[in-house]
Amino acid sequence: MSGQEFDNKIIQWVDERLPIFSILKHSAVDYPTPKNLNYWWNFGSLAGFMLVVMVATGIFLAMGYAANTLVAFGAVEHIMRDVNYGWLLRYLHMNGASFFFICVYIHIFRGLYYGSYKAPRELLWALGLLIYLVMMGTAFMGYVLPWGQMSFWGATVITNLFSAVPVVGDYIVTLLWGGFSVDNPTLNRFFALHYLLPFVIFALVFLHVVALHTSKSNNPLGIDVKGPQDTIPFHPYYTIKDLFGIGVLLLFYLGVVFFAPNFFGEPDNYVPANPLVTPPHIVPEWYFLPFYAILRAIPDKLGGVVAMFGAIIILFFLPWIDSSKVRSAKFRPIFKQIFWIFLAVCLVLGYCGSQPPEGEIVIVGRIATAAYFLFFPLLWVLGKVEKPRPLPHSIAAPVLKGASAGHAAQPMEKA
């Protein structure tokens, strides 16, 4: 990694002693990237961008915030009304969480569609899921900080999930609360952890990228890179493409921040927390809804909690559940359809999670939950019976054949 030559004397001097410039050049400039990546490959760097935005706005919010049940609600209103640009910081942070999740969800489904979880990228996939889990914890605790009704009751319901653990459940919940209900000690520790976890995410993202640069990017064809003719350097080709992506993301993100800042929010969270009154309809933030629907689909406390966590844990095993060696859905006609059904099932679950658990919503939720879990054994069977379409020889091959067959392809394929 070291041993690069730099024209600038100072850079060269530093690099010989601390190879940060070599590392940067190796992983962000020269990094050989498949030349056929489409726009779905933008969402990883977009998620990274959102992480930076969250930390930047969060640190300045923390300067106006106070984690005490007596003043927390007022402190957030103080940020909104009195702190210079406080409204902007908060709306960026609040909606930033939603856009962060949008990017990560698209990123995950991209991985599913193109089989990016398969060998040799199993650990890359697992690290991504870990990031997702820590993100959920961070967002959950952040949502408690404004100490509104949804903050309080969301915290109550979610921490109570752990009371389903046999024998030690109640001890765990007391430990989480630091008391006999969600109260000041709970708010305090949630703030401490909400500040800490994003930095844990940074560390995980670092490992995620190391794993990526070891096994290299997958691509829409899902076949391995055969040589330099299949790749282009990351800079300037993908730096500029990622930058363009950020521009488009900002259009949507800032559009919501400026024109509909409470679009993703719940009005009830502008009512201060009241431990004696549960709002008639409590819902989590939208990004938790599918899991909330799974929780409610099972008419048994422990069963519901197990199913909910299981829905995420099972994703870690996906590389071994999917028995097909072909990565990209482009060449798997049946998998492609099942993928879209699975995506639809997740959206239906999300809708069910947002509705009161009555009437046919309960039935639909149960069917969708069953369908969610059915996806995995189905994948295993599918890999055994599905006839994949023929794979191209290399990333460069189909492009070159398409242009003018024979001539151009030959010298390239030799390289």
Partner 1 sequence: MADTSTPTQGTPPEGESRRDFLLYAAGAVGVAGTALAVWPLIHSMNPAADTLALSTTEVDLSAVAEGQAITVTWRGKPVFIRHRTAAEIESARKVDLAELRDPQADDKRVQKPEWLILVGVCTHLGCIPMGQKASDPRGEYGGWFCPCHGSAYDTSGRIRKGPAPLNLAVPTYTFLTDTSVRIG
Active site residues: 213, 217, 241-242, 285
| Sign of the dihedral defined by the CA atoms of residues 29, 32, 35, 39, in that order | negative
Do you find a cis peptide bond into 236, omega within 30 degrees of 0?
Answer: yes
Give the range of 30-38, 160-168, 252-260, 261-269 binding partner 1 by CB under 8 A: 160-168
What are the C-alpha distances in Å from 258 to residues 27, 146, 203, 255?
Answer: 36, 20, 32, 5
Query: Which of ligand HEM, partner 1, none lies near 176, with the C-beta cut-off 5 to 8 A by kind?
Result: partner 1
Query: Which of partner 1, ligand HEM, none lies near 90, with the C-beta cut-off 5 to 8 A by kind?
Result: ligand HEM
Query: Which of partner 1, ligand HEM, none lies near 114, with the C-beta cut-off 5 to 8 A by kind?
Result: none
Q: Could you say which of 59, 71, 119, 175 contacts partner 1 (CB under 8 A)? A: 175
Distance CA 296, CA 294 (A): 5
> Burial level of 328, CB count in 10 A (0-12/13-18/19+)?
buried
Distance CA 11, CA 328 (A): 42
Instruction: Output the smallest distance, CB 213 to ligand HEM, in A.
Output: 23
Q: Does the footprint of partner 1 cover residue 185 (CB under 8 A)?
A: yes
Instruction: Output the smallest distance, CB 333 to ligand HEM, in A.
Output: 38
Q: Could you say which of 57, 151, 156, 231 contacts partner 1 (CB under 8 A)? A: 156
Give the range of 56-64, 274-282, 317-325, 387-395 binding partner 1 by CB under 8 A: 274-282
Give the interface with ligand HEM as residue ranges (CB under 6 A): 51, 54-55, 58-59, 61-62, 65, 76, 90, 93-94, 97, 100, 135, 138-139, 142-143, 145-146, 194-195, 198, 201
Q: Could you say which of 64, 261, 310, 357 contacts partner 1 (CB under 8 A)? A: 357
What are the C-alpha distances in Å from 197 to residues 36, 136, 203, 352?
Answer: 35, 10, 10, 30
What's 241-286 look like in SS3?
HHHHHHHHHHHHHHHHHHHCCCCCCCHHHHCECCCCCCCCCCCCCH
Give the range of 41-49, 235-243, 297-305, 380-388 binding partner 1 by CB under 8 A: 297-305
Distance CA 138, CA 361 (A): 29
Q: Say how many C-beta atoms besides its own lie within 10 A of residue 80's C-beta.
A: 16
Query: Which of partner 1, ligand HEM, none lies near 358, with the C-beta cut-off 5 to 8 A by kind?
Result: partner 1
Distance CA 154, CA 141 (A): 10
Residue 185 Ramachandran class (φ > 0 left, ψ -120 to 50 alpha, else beta) = alpha
Q: Which is nearer to partner 1, 19 or 310 (CB)?
A: 310
Instruction: Output the smallest distance, CB 289 to partner 1, in A.
Output: 14
Query: Which of ligand HEM, partner 1, none lies near 377, with the C-beta cut-off 5 to 8 A by kind?
Result: none
Q: Could you say which of 6, 35, 134, 160 contacts partner 1 (CB under 8 A)? A: 160
Nearest CA-CA partner of 17 in 6, 30, 1, 2: 2
Which residues are at the interface with partner 1 (CB under 8 A)?
A: 153, 156-161, 163, 174-181, 183, 185, 189, 275-278, 280-282, 296, 298-302, 304, 356-358
